[in-house]
Amino acid sequence: MSQTSPASAVEWLVEAQPVPYPAALEDMEARAAAIHAGTARERIWLLEHPPLYTAGTSADRSELLDPRFPVYDAGRGGRYTYHGPGQRVGYLSINLNARGRDIRNFVHTLEGWVIAALAEFGVEARRAEGRIGIWTDDRQGHEAKIGAIGIRVRRWVTLHGFSVNIDPDLSHFSGIVPCGISDYPVTSLAALGITASMAEFDAALKVHFPAFLAGLGRCGDRERAVPLESAATRR
């Protein structure tokens, strides 16, 4: 697959029902291996999970405050995060061998893709220097996290990706210190007073997907790129 492979060459898979986390992890691993072997296409996999917590490679056990849901080792970069119904999870199986071996640029471009999709709903989302994730202001004017980013790169094929809060039960985040950041709340489109379906958010992602692919392999904004050790692991 060449660097100029079009967006249409990437498979899109949207799940209608929540996917158990172990099954998703196994599938991602298999897909990454197949892409590396040249036997499968790159893929964007959009889904929801049942309520659960995942632990990244930098997870601190003290930040698991109330393990009321199953906890899984994710293998991605980052710390603890929550996944559950009402949250759009996007797993990216992208071949960086063909799109520039630049992990920092990949994370930066991924953030930009999510920010652009949120803008379709009038959300002024942004990056925050020194903090992983996607941020905006809540209805009280406080800075709040609306999306999380965490990836892993194996043999230059990406695993994991992003999550965006559409209309999850935000109380479920109280069982952890989300991504190790306790000073800021989490929010969602619904909490911002925005009614949007998963299908509508997926459509916004699709609109901005070609720009995301076009941004891969470029130098990116290195000053604002997410710190590699916090966002990704490479094996």
Read off the DSSP letter of residue 132.
Answer: E
Of 16, 76, 5, 74, the C-alpha closest to 42 is: 5
Rounded CA gap, 134 and 146, in Å? 6
* Rounded CA separation 100/38 (Å): 17
The residue type at 177? V
Q: Report the sign of the C-alpha dihedral through residues 61, 149, 178, 223, in that order.
A: positive
Catalytic residue among 98, 166, 179, 216: 179
Which backbone phi and psi does 97 adopt, to 5 degrees? -60, -35
Structure tokens at 188: 């969602």
The question of whether 219 is a catalytic residue gets the answer no
Q: Active-site positions?
A: 179
